[in-house]
Amino acid sequence: MIRAMQRYATAMLLGWAVCGCAKHPAEMAADGGAAAPAPPAAQGNALAYEHDVRIELPADQIGQRIAAIRTACQGAQFGDCALLAVEQEGGRDPTGRVSVRLAPDGIEPMVQLAGQRGDVAARSTRAEDLAQQIADTSLAQARLQKEHARLLELQQRRDLAVTDLLALSKRLAEIEAEAQQTQQQAAQQQRRVRTQLLTLNFRSTGGEQGRGEIAQAAAEFGEVFSSSVAFVIRAVAALLPVAAVALIAGWLLLQAWRWRVRRRRMS
């Protein structure tokens, strides 16, 4: 009977520890046994910036610019830099694309390096506010740490049954896996805030001109087609009376010729 009561009490403690993760964040912060979660990042201090730049330059310079960007990034010429993607296509209309992630102070020097012997044709910047995501991740980490500590305390009890120990071990493994995942998420979020993504798109000037002419011709297709149809209608309208008169005259001449032929035969 006493052993059954001990098992019942142990199960109750285990359920209380596992359900502790469902407490409100404010209650968790108020508990003295665990550190309070970090406060949410201030508005404007958790922005993840991304820059897209289109550069037009001679076709034979695209490969050189891509190589220069690669060397500058790998050599940390403008600070810590991570080379994420490099693409290059040849042919009659060569193109290229380079994506890097680097510190904010290195964005402008890298754009200037990419734009040498060319022109920055277009540029856009967008930002995503990660303050709420960072706060949620911090709360999740605090919750997992607190639950992990409670389960470790329960694991030290000497009166636990084997089934209880197995349940504790299983839950501890789940918590450790979740903690590792949230730690990776937090690191990725901080990386996006501390560094900025820069994507450089290279286009050849000749290719842009050719695409511009094609686009202009496509835009003028409707107008040219309408003008041509209108010209044909006007031409038909103008030639129709002439054709009618010519047809009547031809018919009269044919009747006159037949009349003369019949008259000659009769004579």
Q: What is the pLDDT of residues 162-218, one digit of tens each?
A: 888 888 889 989 999 999 999 999 999 999 999 999 999 999 986 545 555 666 777
Q: Output the pTM of the full model.
A: 0.58
Report if residue 242 sits inside a domain: no
Q: Is the pLDDT of residue 250 over 80?
A: yes
Over residues 232-249, the pLDDT tens digits come to 888 888 888 888 888 888
Residue at 164 is within a domain: yes
Token pair, residue 93, equals 């209309």
Domain count, the chain: 1
Q: Is the pLDDT of residue 33 over 90?
A: no
- 13 domain residue, yes or no: yes
CA pair distance 23, 156, nearest whole angstrom = 24
Q: In Å, what is the CA distance from 181 to each residue of 2, 56, 94, 175, 184? A: 41, 42, 41, 10, 5
| More confident of the two residues 44 and 181 | 181
| pLDDT tens for each residue of 88-97 | 988 888 999 9
Domain coverage including residue 106: 1-220
Q: Is residue 234 part of a domain?
A: no
Average pLDDT score over residue span 99-128? 93
